[in-house]
Structure 1
Amino acid sequence: MVNIRPFREEDNDSLLNIEKLCPQGNEECAMIIDKGPDITARYEIYDNWEIRVAEKNATAVGWIGWTIKKGTDEPYLYIAEVMVHPDHKNQGLEVELVREAEKAASEAKASYIYCYAYEPNEEFMDLFEKLGYMRKKSIQAISISAYKKENMESGYEIERINAEDIHDTIKLINSYYHGNAQFCPFTIESFKDYTERIFGYGLENFITAKWKGHIVACAGFWDASVLMEVTYTKEPMMWKVMANAYGILRHFTRVPDIPTEGEVCKMHSIVDFAFEQEHSPAMEEIIDYCNNLMFETNCKFFGAYTDPDDPVLGVLKKFKPMHENLYLYAKPISGKIPDFSRIYVDCRDTIL
């Protein structure tokens, strides 16, 4: 008999242990996300959240977590994760857990539900497709190796955000993402609250680029490793080929690092980036600045999650990034699924 109930503090270690047994991926590429020591920390960055635990014989065997977000017109629900112990898979628990989220969405009169799936995680995608969810969008997951220090000589003034610049920075962000699905324009207060609530982010980690005193580019540099660490349990064959090739070249020059199987990756992310199109070099300069921070602290990898049509991808090409995909799945509840032709990627959702 399965009992589905609200999360209790004493569930923490059991759920973290289950997560370590559930790689996201397939036989060709898979990763484990470690959200320890507190599994609720990734939820506390949201305004509201819920975890429901499935138990058998008083033992936790799986869970689902979600948050309900306020849209410009109607609320919508994001499923952050669904995990079931390998010994209890294919017994209908995953379906029961997803139904709990759908019930919550219905009660909240949420317009729709969505979730993200890591491209190699075929089992996860199969589950949601069988439950009527539709693949609506591909998101680019970019990883950059900070293997060398970049030169910064373009003439832009790069600095941490000042209090007097917040208004103009928000104006730039709101203009950049105007019309994108899931973007609600920031106010000064909402932006402060949003950045300060995310562990490892905060205004102290927000960077601006100025040209003749005018803000023309900006981005947050979020230390996401305070909420998760990534370990690849299966490394793509292409990465292995690249690593072998770089291994030879490394004797003669600096080359990018490639994540290896079993290596713990502590990721930083470039988030809430925005720039005036004629000042793309300013965005490049901000990424140079972030790269050099990583290089000087001996941290290997940083990256970004973005709409595949975002002009920032043109800027990122210089850094020879690695590309992976996430898929956005959605299902209507009390309204319609929005137009996802362009989307603002909420950095909080990238803690998979």
Structure 2
Amino acid sequence: MKILGIESSCDECAAAVVEDGRVPLSNVVATQIPFHAVYNGVVPEIASRKHTEWIYAVVKEALDNAGIGPGDIGGVAVTAHPGLLGSLLVGVSFAKAFAWARNLPFIAVDHMLAHLYACQLHHSPQDPLSGAAYPFLGLLVSGGHSIICRVDDFDDITVLGTTIDDAVGEAFDKVSKYYGFGYPGGAAIDKLAQTGDPEAFRFPLPNLYKGDHPYDLSYSGLKTAVINQLAHFQVKKGSAGPQDIAASFQKTAVDILLRSLFRAVEDIGLTTIVAGGGVAANSYLRLRLAERKDLRCLFPPLELCGDNGAMIAGLGYRYLVRGDRSPLSTTASARVRAFKRSYP
């Protein structure tokens, strides 16, 4: 079965066709980076307008690249939450209209569950399945979310830890914006850090000692230290360049993630970790996890770390073959309560 997947949760207008929940036949992503770079961040109104302008052409290109027409599609999947509400509504409205016009089954899916599913995709029917058997630990890291979870099925996760303030990707973006490193912040800092000294600054790790927060994360303190208190944490003698700030920040940001993740590994007893989200493309995070030879750590290919339609179509297939359907009254939702925690 060929599923059309549509993704418009933030600033990427994306569509893809995936066969049998595994093989992407096409994967088109129209990036809005040039329109938001001048602001060093996503402007929601601009994002939703660009989705409205582009979505028809992006879906048509996805069908053309797959070598099929609308009549060959067996179902439509779309991101319904979480994300920017205006952007989400464009994708949901288009997907519902497409499904209604062709009398196709329609399913609305969770964006973060789709990021977890990205590792299940492979590019040829002859390839061995590269995904992980359930259960495993999930590491979902992006501009909006930082989640450590136990994953028992494609739609069955238990959130173990999440951010109490900023997400890790958000911290990358804000530090990069302050120092003028570039946009998007995650990619800019990762590139700049390649030539920097990660020990030039010794930034503090959060101490979540109140309440029951064994796996939770916090990035507000690190962001404040890097932006407002930089000189207090310098270890390297002499002048430190932008690359040293980037490398030291990146190291600490990843260390915060891994401290909680490795604690969950010890407590839960699962040794397979599946990563997803834009920050899963970070080279230092991948390097650090690769050092743990006792763990099996799976990352999507780089083109599937960011927002894309293939992960939506793949996850949607699993729902549709189970018999799940979403009513055409389905609408978008900006947030998922379980993905952000209050403190203490």
- TM-score w.r.t. the length of structure 1 is 0.30
Q: Of Structure 1 and Structure 2, which has the larger fraction of its residues in helix?
A: 2
Q: Of Structure 1 and Structure 2, which has the larger fraction of its residues in strand?
A: 1
- TM-score w.r.t. the length of structure 2 is 0.30
